[in-house]
Amino acid sequence: MTGQRLERRTTIAVEADLRPQETPSQAWRTDFDLEIDKAPLWHKGEVSIETLQALDDLCASRTQSDHERATWQQ
Residue from 32, 29, 14, 35 nearest 67 by CA = 29
Segment 39-67 mean pLDDT: 69
Total domain count, the chain: 1
Q: Which burial class, exposed, middle or buried, applies to 59 when counting CB atoms under 10 A from its CB (0-12, 13-18, 19+)? A: middle
Segment 47-66 mean pLDDT: 74
- Residue 31 pLDDT: 60
Confidence of residue 60 (pLDDT cuts 50, 70, 90): confident
Task: Check whether 24 has a pLDDT greater than 60.
Answer: no
Which residues span the domain enclosing 38? 2-73
CB 9 within 8 A of CB 50: no
pTM greater than the 0.85 cutoff: no
End-to-end CA distance of the chain: 44
The rounded percent of the chain whose pLDDT value lies above 70 is: 19
